[in-house]
A and B are shown apart, each in its own frame.
Chain A
Amino acid sequence: MPETFRLDFTVNGQARSLDTHPMARLLDVLREGLGLTGTKEGCGEGECGACSVLLDGRVVNSCLIPAVQAQGAEVVTVEGLAAGGGLSPMQDAFLAHNAAQCGFCTPGMLIAAEDLVRRCPAPDKEQVREGLAGNLCRCTGYSKIVDAVQAVARKEGQP
């Protein structure tokens, strides 16, 4: 029995509304329903973190969120990090430290890093590693990503 519902939520500060199935993945709602393709699908089972978004201010795997649980929620995707057309300090730091190679994990890394520095403004290396432990990168070896996050934490990442 097909059944859809009207999903009303906030995405990157804007009220959005669309008809979708309650079990549709938030990942697909964002990518296919709203055209926000910055959020990536890697493993599709909550292991790799490529689909990370902020849901009500906390990092989550959007591949594991049924649309019904996003009702009324506030979602931030990688597209929402850059305010007013410029890059966010975290995005600038990733550029400055060459913290991306193929770039596939980068949106999820940026979201997890953003979540971390909001909770913990001056993380040490261990805290950065734990904050990013759910995000896999197969290119960089992580060191440059950790450097970029710590640079933002030290306020060096700002232009």
Chain B
Amino acid sequence: MRSFLPDFQVRVPATLPEALDLLAAEPGAWTPLAGGTDLMVLFNAGRLQARRFLDLSRLFELRGVQDEPGRLTLGALTTFSELREQRVVHQCFPNLVKSARATGALAIQNRGTLGGNIVNASPAADTPPALLAYGAEVELTSPAGARWIPYADFHQGYKRMDLGPAELLTRIRLPKPEGMGYHFYRKVGTRQAQAISKVCLAAYARLEGRVLADLRIGLGAVAPVPARATGTEALLRGRALDALPFEAARDALQADIAPIDDIRASAHFRRVVAGNVLVQMLKELAAVRA
């Protein structure tokens, strides 16, 4: 059943300090609203718990892309379409472009935001695996100031985050990969557009000659949170591309994930497919001409 409009309240702060003051005055009372592409679905179905919304869409402080030597900083309100349209994102973070392109369809990509995708905290969201693979950091801001934390530490459990009731996620920062790199992104869903992931795997590897000098793997839809495959990474780090242990890596991945059965896929399917996607990636890596 549709939500009853008079039950809802909306404030539209004009500046970031104003928004933070509202949050701090009544911690937990206001739910931030950005692109609305997740919240409005629940709202339309009458299943939205929150009743009071802080519309962040007018906050210019949360917009924009800052391209500096060595790093890229994205405002939390950066839309998926903006990610797709930024040359520097294509050049340095191709997985982020692919993940933005894999999110919903164009009408969603024009509204949905990177910050919203993170804070909505769906384990099946499409950009988090790419952010994990690139070693992103997130900025959390309250009236007391801002702090940066590794994005890998942000999700603490299903829909639980290192985010205080008076804090907003304001920016996302990515170190630009240097040297010879390999990027991989694969989302497995029912169809290319609009589908929610059954399995998603993003990876970034730094190569030194034919050696896997460093590797980060981000996973979606196979754990209660978007997660790094730390055990698999440790097994593979330092290996020669000509001697990648495909099956041992597949086994290691099984210990890194904790998938569940739901309407989109069974846990068994997710385990098998996650392993298959990992091996697909390793075979691609083995074929890299370095």
Contacts and interface: CB of A to CB of B under 8 A. Distances in A.
Interface in A108-139: 112, 115, 130-131, 133-135
B106 A131 contact: yes
A134 B45 contact: no
B117 to A, nearest CB: 14
B6 A63 contact: no
Contacts of B192: 133
Given A68-B12, A130-B193, A134-B193, A63 B40 contact: yes
Contact of A134 (B12, B81, B108): B108
B246 interface: no
Contacts of A61: 37, 107-108, 111
B36 interface: yes
B3 interface: yes
Contacts of B107: 46, 49, 52, 59-61, 112, 134
B110 A66 contact: no
Contacts of A64: 36-37, 40-41, 44, 108, 111
B55 A68 contact: yes
A23 interface: yes
Contacts of B106: 59, 112, 115, 130-131, 133-134
Interface size range on B against A: 20 to 34
Contacts of A24: 5
Nearest to B81: A58
Interface size range on A against B: 20 to 34
A1 B9 contact: yes
Contact of A133 (B10, B37, B44, B105): B105
Contacts, number: 95
Contacts of A22: 8, 10, 12, 55
Interface string A5-38: 0000000000000000111110000000000000
B191 to A, nearest CB: 8
Contacts of B43: 23, 66
B33 interface: yes
Interface centre among A3, A45, A64, A71 (most CB of B within 10 A): A64
A60 B110 contact: yes
A113 B106 CA distance: 11
Contacts of A79: none
Contacts of A65: 36, 40, 111
Nearest to A62: B107
A44 interface: yes
B104 interface: yes
A69 B108 contact: no
Interface of A: 1-3, 21-25, 44-47, 49, 52, 55, 58-61, 63-66, 68-69, 71, 112, 115, 130-131, 133-135
Closest 4 A-B residue pairs measured CB to CB? A134-B105, A133-B193, A22-B10, A2-B6
